[in-house]
Amino acid sequence: MDSIWTRTRPAAPARETLSRTQIVRTTIELLDSEGLAGLSMRKLAAKLDSGATSLYWHVQTKDDLIDLVIDEIYHEVDVPEPELAGWRAGATLFAHSLRATILRHAWLPDVIYNRPSIGPNAMSLGSRGIVLFRAAGFADRDVDYAMSSVMSFVIGSASAEVAVRTTVRKAGQSLEEWTSEVMEMARVNIADQPEMEESLRRRTDRDLNAMTNESFAFGLDALLDGLEAKVKARK
């Protein structure tokens, strides 16, 4: 698989004023506003008020752009030092930071596993994450597995939130309107399902944002409880 991170970067012409930083920043703005479907080299060049030739001095393909922006997004994720926060508080802050980053960039779940994350920011995040989970008492491969478990939980739950918000936006409804409509539809099929009827009652008139926040916090705590118990069991 080809990656921009494995290629020697060619020197730009002396009169070239466009920078890779400008390209990455503008690409993220375009993705945040229009999604992956709205990203093209032609549209990006127009947004940069630059010719396609200038753009190609810095990035050769659309995959190059994706590699660059994914790595830039990783720079937004906070991974605290365990000496300052302790491993569990640090892991909690890391998870919430990663979730917030994904919710800010709704297109990220569609590409995060499609390209190799081998850029400098990804490597830095991985290194700091290993230090954090090693402080919990994990060793060898378990360090990688522990960090991967937290990242998989965060990316999975945040991706589901992104999918709901995207559906709501496409429907032209508010989150409250969409939730109310789904609840009414669900009532049709729960007459002989008392457990689901009770579950639906608990969700009625609840703010969806509050519920997703509570659900995320509950799941994260349960996962960290399990990781903590696993370390203690091996001592």
Tell me, letter by letter, the H, E, C secondary structure of the chain: CCCHHHCCCCCCCCCCCCCHHHHHHHHHHHHHHHCHHHCCHHHHHHHCCCCHHHHHHHCCCHHHHHHHHHHHHHCCCCCCCHHHHCHHHHHHHHHHHHHHHHHHCCCHHHCCCCCCCCCHHHHHHHHHHHHHHHCCCCCCHHHHHHHHHHHHHHHHHHHHHHHHHHHHHHHCCCHHHHHHHHHHHHHCCCCCCHHHHHHHHHHCCCCHHHHHHHHHHHHHHHHHHHHHHHHHHCC
Among 73, 90, 105, the domain-final residue is 73
- Clarify whether residues 164 and 211 are in a common domain: yes
- Clarify whether residues 65 and 126 are in a common domain: no
Closest CA to 72 of 106, 36, 116, 21: 21
Task: Say if 197 falls within a structural domain.
Answer: no
Among 73, 88, 117, the domain-final residue is 73
- Clarify whether residues 67 and 83 are in a common domain: no
Burial of 91 (0-12, 13-18, 19+ CB in 10 A): buried
Domain residues for the domain of 228 are 75-172+205-233
Among 73, 91, 106, the domain-final residue is 73
Q: What is the mean pLDDT of residues 94-117?
A: 94
The per-residue pLDDT for range 3-55, each reduced to its tens digit, is 888 886 766 665 567 888 999 999 999 999 999 999 988 899 889 887 767 78
Q: What is the pLDDT of residue 35?
A: 92
Tokens of 15: 């009169």
Higher pLDDT, 59 or 88: 88
**d(Cα 184, Cα 169) in Å, to the nearest integer?**
19
- Clarify whether residues 19 and 117 are in a common domain: no
Task: Say if 193 falls within a structural domain.
Answer: no
Read off the CATH number of the domain in which 215 is found: 1.10.357.10
Q: What is the pLDDT of residue 15?
A: 58
The per-residue pLDDT for range 117-175, each reduced to its tens digit, is 899 999 999 999 999 999 999 999 999 999 999 999 999 999 999 998 888 888 888 87
The per-residue pLDDT for range 78-92, each reduced to its tens digit, is 999 999 889 999 999
Closest CA to 166 of 154, 175, 153: 175
**d(Cα 208, Cα 89) in Å, to the nearest integer?**
26
- Clarify whether residues 133 and 220 are in a common domain: yes
- Clarify whether residues 10 and 115 are in a common domain: no
Q: What is the pLDDT of residue 105?
A: 96
